[in-house]
Amino acid sequence: MYKLKIFTVDDEPDILDLLSATLETDFEIYQAACGKEALSKIPEISPDLIILDFSLPDMTGPEIAAQLRKDSMFLHTPILMLTGRGETEDKVIGLESGVDDYMVKPFDPTELITRIKMLIKRSTIKLDANPLTRLPGNVSINNELDTRIKNQETFAVLYFDLDNFKAFNDYYGFERGDEIIKKTGRLLIETSQNTGTVTDFIGHIGGDDFVIITSVEASERLAKKVIDNFDKLAPAFFDKPDLEKGYIETKGRDGQIQKFGILSISIGIIINKDKPFTHIAEIGSVGAEVKGLAKKFNGSKYIIDQRHC
């Protein structure tokens, strides 16, 4: 049975043990004893909820929360803060940093579980986040595009699709397939942070399809860097014999055994600079067309829709 993941951060071993004993029946528990360790592990684990202690040796809980909220993947992840004091100032600092709720230590185990379930339920209703990557889903993507259209902004939309992913998934299994999807989501976030703009929006359409909304100026630079990073990432997910051959053999869509090369990424870029879009459906239609054209060529590549630039 699949369990939701909770990441707990506290520098007191007794508190970590108590949290684990309280929650491990209902949840999968991960732990860290300081802020640096937490910020290193959380992106890899992608928890469904995070519990932070207010005071840690290297950082405060609110500082960790503020750092996490800068990451698209954790923009809406529920965060519960534990504090040893019931002071209003601590609560205000936590809430202003992006914490969703707080409890005073020592806490009641039954109340803690109730609070956690309430926060997870609330976040699930509020956000259409993809459960695998925690990135915003189609509703949020459409809302972002609609807002930019109404504000008459100039922007570029990059549509991403993994080539040969179905064959990879069939050959290696869903667990490894899910892992490459999670890694791709993380790669897009990190590449955007390093190469894109502060207003970039990253979404997960579903399956192996992603989207980044960025500036016109950053679009091509971002596409090139994503390709470079993905081509370095993908080989690590193949077994050595398959990597040496350069392909895997499995059934294609026609049911016949075929050879499929190493995973690559196709990117379709559409720009509203010279011909503004008036509706999100138009963006999706053109984006699918351009991305489909890119997929006809071997290897990782990007194509810019010339009709709109």
Distance CA 19, CA 5 (A): 13
Decide if pLDDT at 303 tops 50. yes
Question: What are the distances in angstroms from CA 8 to CA 71, 169, 218, 251?
Answer: 18, 32, 37, 43
Distance CA 282, CA 32 (A): 46
Residue pLDDT, tens place only, 193-206? 889 987 899 999 99
Domain boundaries, the chain: 5-126, 138-308
Q: Is the dihedral of CA 91, 97, 103, 104 positive or negative?
A: negative
Largest CA distance in the chain: 67
- Give the pair of three-digit tokens for residue 105: 């230590």
- Give the pair of three-digit tokens for residue 4: 């939701």
Q: What b/e readout covers 147-172, taking b as 16+ CB neighbours within 10 angstroms?
A: ebbeeeeebbbbbbbbbbbbbbbebb
Rg of the chain over CA atoms, in angstroms?
Answer: 22
Residue pLDDT, tens place only, 88-137? 566 666 667 788 888 888 888 988 998 898 888 777 655 677 878 888 88
Q: Based on the number of CB atoms within 10 Å of its own CB, is 248 exposed (0-12), middle (13-18) or buried (19 or more)?
A: buried
Specify the CATH number of the domain 5-126.
Answer: 3.40.50.2300
List the beta strands (DSSP E) in 114-231: 156-163, 201-206, 209-214
- Give the pair of three-digit tokens for residue 173: 């299994």
Amino acid 135: pLDDT: 86
Token pair 């809980």 is found at 61
Residue pLDDT, tens place only, 137-192? 888 899 899 989 988 899 999 999 999 999 999 999 999 999 999 999 999 988 99
Token pair 């976030």 is found at 189
- Give the residue from 188, 136, 125 showing the smallest Cα distance to 161: 188
Angle between helices 35-45 and 61-69 (to 10 degrees): 30
Domains 5-126 and 138-308 share a fold: no
Q: Structurally, what CATH architecture does the domain formed by 138-308 represent?
A: 2-Layer Sandwich (3.30)
Token pair 């509020």 is found at 126
Amino acid 308: pLDDT: 47
Range in 28-37, 192-201, 234-243, 296-305 with the lowest mean pLDDT: 192-201
Entry pTM: 0.70
